[in-house]
Amino acid sequence: MRSLLLALLASTSLMTPVFTTPAQAAEPADPVVAADTEARTPLAELGKDDPYRWMEEIEGTRAMDWARAQNAATLPKLQGDPRYAALEAQALAILNAKDRVPGVSFAGDGALRNFWQDADHVRGLWRRTTLESYRTVAPTWETILDIDALSKAENANWVFKGAQCLPPHDTRCLVTLSNGGKDAVTIREFDTATKAFVPGGFDLPEGKQNVTWLDQDTLLVAREWEPGQVTKSSYPYVVKSWKRGTPLASAKELYRGTPDDVSAGPYVVRDSDGAVQAVMAYRGVSFFESETYLLTDQGAAKLPFPLKSSIQGYVSGQLVLSLEQDWAEKGFKTGDLISFDLKALKADPAKAQAALVLRPTAKQSVEQVTTTHGKLIVGLLDNVTGVAHAYTHGAQGWTHQKFDLPANSTISLGSTSEKDERLFVSVTGYLAPTTYWLADAGSLKLEQVKASPARFDASTHVVEQFEATSTDGTKIPYFVVRPKAVKYDGQAPTLLYAYGGFQVSMTPAYSGVMGKLWLERGGTYVVANIRGGGEFGPAWHDAALKANRQKAYDDFYAVSQDLIDRKITSPRHLGIMGGSNGGLLMGVALTQRPELYNAVVVQVPLFDMIRYSQIGAGASWVGEYGDPAIPSERAVIAKYDPYSNLKAGQRYPEVFIETSTKDDRVHPAHARKAAARLEELGYPVLYYENIDGGHAASANLAETARRQALEYVYLSKKLMD
């Protein structure tokens, strides 16, 4: 659930940071009155005097007319710049390049599958090849499903959102299609053997839904079964079992959460042969808290897991969980990876004993967990540098071995094989194109099977790491990618990126477009590891939750000021960018410290924080920001809420605000209101609303190239000219 709601991110990290440990940094929250002692403010009262409430109707005539008028005013200003055409062409050439390395996933039928987009296949091809062919310079691909052809045949704006296939053979799949990129999707049964949708097969109409296979003739489905039967966050909370050949309305209820939850959904535990070992339901009490229920013929039995814990996988009879809170009675700590014997857990949940798999140090964080046929694979951040280990469960408990992958890089775990111990791993860095490795978790053998071509001249730049001291004394690491010949005279055009929320870590990644459109043209790129992220485990995130939200913003200003103090750049040449939660960060920086920046790119943002819980999926994020309906929590939010803190007579730079009409996660009204309010106060503002594209603001590569070219033209005008 958490991954569904997270945002469009960028990259960071390469060297060893110097910092205050998360345990020291996670100070107690400022005291607030307990929520259950306060009278909640009626939701209708929140923002009732807002003159731009009409912008919350996503595709209302008035709102769409306003958005089109804004586009008509903004696009000529940016696209008319003499640099625009070349930047867009360069971005599109990189995004559409035929020599891009296609990422692949193992399928149970022995094939490797891939989803591919380029200039000839704008919406994309779902296709397959063999491992032998994939190893070659020019693999032979067989198309499974052509999304461009499907869209044309159905006169639809389909965006492919993936396919969930039934193990062990993976030939029957649930293909997920989105209209223009929305989170609300349609789901259809597809046969990869015949390469066609199954006649009379499973077909779920559009909605925000969570669906999984139980067996070939049964789906477990969480969706809006009756009009309005969704949570306040707009997600389903009723789980049912749907049998093949029966009407959807006849599905049998298995579990029901409540409208006050974030969501509820099904979870099927399978062994590596595809056999079902347990059927579960999760209840998302809040964004970070959930309950897990074992579903049996006798009903739903709650499992004794901490609220802040997540199932990570099943291997060798062990159900693996990560902990985001201490479990004192069991002797476990925040950040631990633990396991239960599933048979013992099912037999008597109260008496089942957990075993420690891994306890990260203060400088480590568990980033990824996956499984092969018989191994548990763990991807760690160690001092914001990636490492990967293979864990084996035996009579002596858990043992592990380390993969000998390139150091000082981000290591991402890819698709795993359920038939043996193989998995794909990618390795990347700011200036190093991504390499793709086939790893064997049994032998630890590594084979580099692919390497991405360089998209820009990285020889002129260098990566460094520094630290800034935040308001409370916490050391905040940040990474600088700069020209080797830069003079420390405050003149370097510098783009600073950060996110700072939802325990999302900013780790280094190669971006051909950013490198070509910014670095190669003399720009400096900076990423800050501010609190709210997950770089140093759950405590680094918890340090900026709710009442402590200002700490993330203070961290960001500390990095900004440190860049200025080191004379890497100056306010005249310093620009900032962030999306979603990072877009909120941009809005706060604009209203709290506008004197630090000359350019602000606000991507698909949260902005109206007094009404955020009533817009889009906002109610699901109360665990991150607090509840505006509770007076004491609203008082904290109001101090940093960008929308209500916009004022006349300030030193705001001209901002560039972007959103997408089809974004049904972070509602476009946030961006619309921000722009309208700035204009009302007399400030110049650039605004672009992509009519398609969902939360990533791009439904295809051409739209992505246009958005990126617009951003870098804006940054060039503000920071380079």
Tell me the percentage of the chain whose pLDDT exceeds 70: 94
What one-character DSSP code corresponds to residue 520?
T
**Closest CA relative to residue 130, chosen from 146, 147, 107:** 107
> 2: how many CB neighbours lie within 10 A of its CB?
15
Residue 60 has pLDDT above 60, yes or no: yes
| Contact residues for 704 (Cβ-Cβ < 8 A; gap 6+) | 91, 95, 698
The residue annotated as part of the active site, out of 263, 695, 698, 716, is 695
pLDDT at position 616: 85
Residue 172 has pLDDT above 70, yes or no: yes
Helix%, strand%, coil% for the chain, nearest 5? 25, 35, 40
pLDDT at position 700: 79
**Closest CA relative to residue 13, chosen from 427, 411, 465, 366:** 465
Please report which confidence band the pLDDT of residue 694 belongs to, taking 50, 70 and 90 as the band edges. low
Residue 26 has pLDDT above 80, yes or no: no
Q: Which residue has the tokens 């389909």?
A: 158
φ/ψ of residue 68, rounded to 5: -65, -40
DSSP H or E segment with residue 148: helix 147-154
pLDDT at position 695: 57
Residue 152 has pLDDT above 70, yes or no: yes
φ/ψ of residue 637, rounded to 5: -60, -40
Q: What is the mean pLDDT of residues 91-120?
A: 95
pLDDT at position 180: 87
Residue 334 has pLDDT above 80, yes or no: yes
Please report which confidence band the pLDDT of residue 21 belongs to, taking 50, 70 and 90 as the band edges. very low
Residue 204 has pLDDT above 70, yes or no: yes
Q: Count CA atoms within 13 Å of residue 15 on its CB side.
A: 14
pLDDT at position 698: 53
pLDDT at position 408: 85
Q: In the annotation, is 151 catalytic? A: no
Residue 13 has pLDDT above 60, yes or no: no
pLDDT at position 692: 64
**Closest CA relative to residue 259, chosen from 282, 289, 229, 224:** 229
> 680: how many CB neighbours lie within 10 A of its CB?
12
- Which segment of 33-47, 240-254, 422-436, 491-505 scores lowest on mean pLDDT? 33-47
What CA–CA distance (Å, rounded) separates 523 from 359?
40
> 345: how many CB neighbours lie within 10 A of its CB?
22
Q: Count CA atoms within 13 Å of residue 14 on its CB side.
A: 19
Residue 14 has pLDDT above 80, yes or no: no
**pLDDT tens profile 533-577:** 999 999 999 999 999 999 999 999 999 999 999 999 999 999 999
pLDDT at position 415: 97
Q: In the annotation, is 169 catalytic? A: no
**pLDDT tens profile 471-522:** 999 999 999 999 999 999 999 999 999 999 999 999 999 999 999 999 999 9
The residue annotated as part of the active site, out of 580, 613, 660, 716, is 580
Residue 253 has pLDDT above 50, yes or no: yes
Q: What is the mean pLDDT of residues 44-67?
A: 94
What CA–CA distance (Å, rounded) separates 369 from 389?
10
**pLDDT tens profile 214-232:** 999 999 999 999 999 999 9
Residue 97 has pLDDT above 70, yes or no: yes
Residue 295 has pLDDT above 90, yes or no: yes
Tell me the percentage of the chain whose pLDDT exceeds 90: 89
Question: By the 8 A CB rule, do 236 and 209 touch?
Answer: yes
Residue 15 has pLDDT above 70, yes or no: no
Of residues 700 and 427, more confidence is placed in 427
